[in-house]
Amino acid sequence: MGLAIGLVGLPNVGKSTTFNALTKAQNAEAANYPFCTIEPNKAVVPVPDKRLAELAKIVKPERIQYSTLDFVDIAGLVKGASKGEGLGNKFLSTIRETEVILQIVRCFDDDNIIHNEGSIDPLRDVEIIEGELILADIEVLSNRIDRLRKQAKADKNAKAALDMAEELLEYLADGNLARNFKDVDSEVYQQLNQEVRFLTNKEIMYGANTDEDGLLEDNEYVKLLREHAQKNNCELIKLCAKVEEELIGLEDEEAQEFLTDLGVEESGLEQIIHKGFAKLGLMSYFTAGVKEVRAWTIKQNSTAPRAAAAIHNDFEKGFIRAEVINYKDFVELGGEAKAKEAGKMRLEGKEYIVQDGDIMHFRFNV
């Protein structure tokens, strides 16, 4: 699946409604009953970036192309999912193929909307979801330990992996997330994670689905969830799925006016996209021509040749050098020609680390 963000949560907490708003299309059925999402819904979502509009004012291209993110709406999990309850392991395996988990948590009261557990308790909901992820990790790790025990009789490396795996198994069994394990940065752990792909090792963001009042000031539910997020070094993003749904179809200016009236600067979904992009370790550089102004998605700390490969592999193979203009210089000086005149265009070689927002043109020869 590759660099995808998976939306998870208990049934009926606003997850599919959030997904609908996120994709600005009714790709996921939203209904007031559990398990209305039967197959994981997938969508490619543009990453909002106001810098592209500024470049377009100068270049006046035929089109604008944004960076994108993959989002997957995964059916609601319930207690026992790791043992096949509800829709079970099928969806846990889908989560395993994503890189970041966005956990939607209900943080508002409404007697008209059924909660699967019968009451509103965000920490209980998180405990259920993360408990199932932990149990799934325990199962795959236990299987791996069985194999390591056989290998360890003749292989010292396997013995080191076995020792760590057994220590990690105890840690998980105590209700802890793998991402908080003390040796998470060690080579042995990294190899183990590469083989097993722990669900609880993934980056986690919490989406606190609140009502309109909760957007302005944290209610008690959000306060509890925020404290939990901080304790686990995770992002928390407040959103109101109902508001996000109302923003669908509005022009940018109308949407911004709507948010301003609510006292909010940026929609919850924009925050999710931007923070998700960063959590995946991604960034954008730009190309700016009369055909298109475009954002190209690359990993942070990419060299110029690796960045060039985002356009075409031949650009990397035959890389000679890159012409680079800083975004701020490009906009302040009014375009490429004036930036050149002012000496703001640089020629960079193979070792150059591309910066977020660089405007680039590649010279290559294949």
pLDDT in tens, 202-227: 999 999 999 988 888 999 999 999 99
Domain positions in the chain are 4-279, 301-364
Which CATH code fits 4-279? Answer: 3.40.50.300
Higher per-residue confidence, 226 vs 10 = 226
Alpha-carbon distance of 67 to 303, in angstroms, equals 18
Asked whether residue 121 carries a pLDDT value surpassing 90, the answer given is yes
Residue range 72-85, pLDDT digits in tens? 887 655 565 445 54
Of the listed ranges 107-116, 156-165, 324-333, the one predicted with least confidence: 107-116
The pLDDT value given to residue 364 = 93
The pLDDT value given to residue 40 = 56
Q: Judge whether 43 and 270 are in contact, CB under 8 Å.
A: no
Q: Judge whether 66 and 73 are in contact, CB under 8 Å.
A: no
Q: Judge whether 95 and 196 are in contact, CB under 8 Å.
A: no
The pLDDT value given to residue 75 = 67
Alpha-carbon distance of 357 to 51, in angstroms, equals 8
> Which band of pLDDT confidence, cut at 50, 70 and 90, is reported for residue 65?
very high
154-183: average pLDDT: 91
Which is it for the CA torsion 277, 280, 286, 292, positive or negative?
negative
Supply φ then ψ for residue 39, to 5 degrees: -115, 145
Close Cβ partners of 220 (under 8 Å, ≥ 6 residues apart): none
Cβ burial 20-41 (10 Å sphere, 16+ → b, else e): bbbbbeeebebeeebebbeebb
The pLDDT value given to residue 102 = 93
> So what's the architecture of 301-364 in CATH?
Roll (3.10)
> Which band of pLDDT confidence, cut at 50, 70 and 90, is reported for residue 260?
confident
Residue range 169-209, pLDDT digits in tens? 999 999 999 999 999 999 999 999 998 899 999 999 999 99
